[in-house]
Chains A and B, each alone.
Chain A
């Protein structure tokens, strides 16, 4: 475990905590895309299939449980919680996220390390995670003013994969035959998708104005 990997995991965990705080504290999920949350739940469920079979470390197992349970809890909250569900911008969150699932599945069937259930699911989860933020970014562009917690949530979510890329670079130079081209490419695409968000997030921070993404 290197410092970049740990920083990435902590940033990812923090983004989940910020989202939970926003929903719990404001009892509202306005500005949050349910579709992105559903995609993340699918990402974790298909990536952590080895949760019950391979024990790598307590940290690894605990973090997997945290990510799976928090993503499912958020989806449940947005769908079924009597108060929160009414604040969901249903008519704004219209991204056809099934196309993202289908596309990732096709990619995983074409490009994987080994043609086994686990490896295809793992590749699927990597590809899906790269594009899972799209419904959320589209929703941000549509919702006029983005509240701070939502902006911070997306910011930390984007930053975590950037730390992972540094982690892969570090591992590439410190470990033999460490070649992970699937997460490499998907991670670059994923972080790239946040590029314009990071730019407008930086502007809103520098000019001390409300975050607003151009339509």
Chain B
């Protein structure tokens, strides 16, 4: 999982 999709939540 790339960092961005992992932190796609608030």
Secondary structure call for the A interface:
helix
A54 within 8 A of B: yes
- Give the distance in Å from the alpha carbon of A177 to the alpha carbon of B10 in the complex: 20
A64 within 8 Å of B (CB atoms): yes
Q: Interface size class for chain B?
A: under 10
What is the distance, in angstroms, from A213's C-beta to the closest C-beta of chain B? 28
**Is A63 close to B, CB under 8 A?**
yes
Give the CA-CA distance A63 to B7 in the complex, in Å: 14
Per-position binary interface string of chain B over residues 1-10, scored 1 when its CB falls under 8 Å from any chain A CB and 0 otherwise: 1011011111
Closest approach, in angstroms, between the C-beta of A57 and any C-beta of chain B? 8
Query: Which chain B residues lie closer than 8 Å to A118 at the CB level?
Result: 3
- Contact size range, A: 10 to 19
Q: How far is the CA of A50 from the CA of B3 in the complex (A)?
A: 10
Identity of the chain A residue whose Cβ is nearest the Cβ of B8 in the assembled complex: A56
Q: Are B4 and A56 in contact (CB under 8 A)?
A: yes
Tell me which of A5, A122, A164 contacts B7 (CB under 8 A): A122
Q: Mark A1-45, 1 if CB is under 8 A from B, else 0.
A: 000010001001000000000000000000000000000000000
Q: Which residues of B contact A167 (CB under 8 A)?
A: 9
Cα(A5)–Cα(B4), bound, Å: 17
The yes or no answer to A204 lying at the interface (CB within 8 A) is no
- B residues within 8 Å of A by Cβ? 1, 3-4, 6-10
7 A-B pairs besides A50-B7, A118-B3, A177-B1 with CB distance below 8 A are A5-B9, A60-B8, A63-B10, A64-B10, A67-B10, A180-B6, A183-B9
Interface residues of A (CB under 8 A from B): 5, 9, 12, 50, 54, 56, 60, 63-64, 67, 113, 118, 122, 164, 167, 177, 180, 183
9 residue pairs from A and B, CB less than 8 Å apart: A9-B10, A12-B10, A50-B7, A54-B3, A56-B4, A56-B8, A60-B8, A60-B10, A64-B10
Instruction: Give the top 9 A-B pairs by smallest Cβ distance, nearest first.
Output: A54-B4, A56-B8, A63-B10, A9-B10, A50-B7, A56-B4, A122-B7, A5-B9, A177-B1
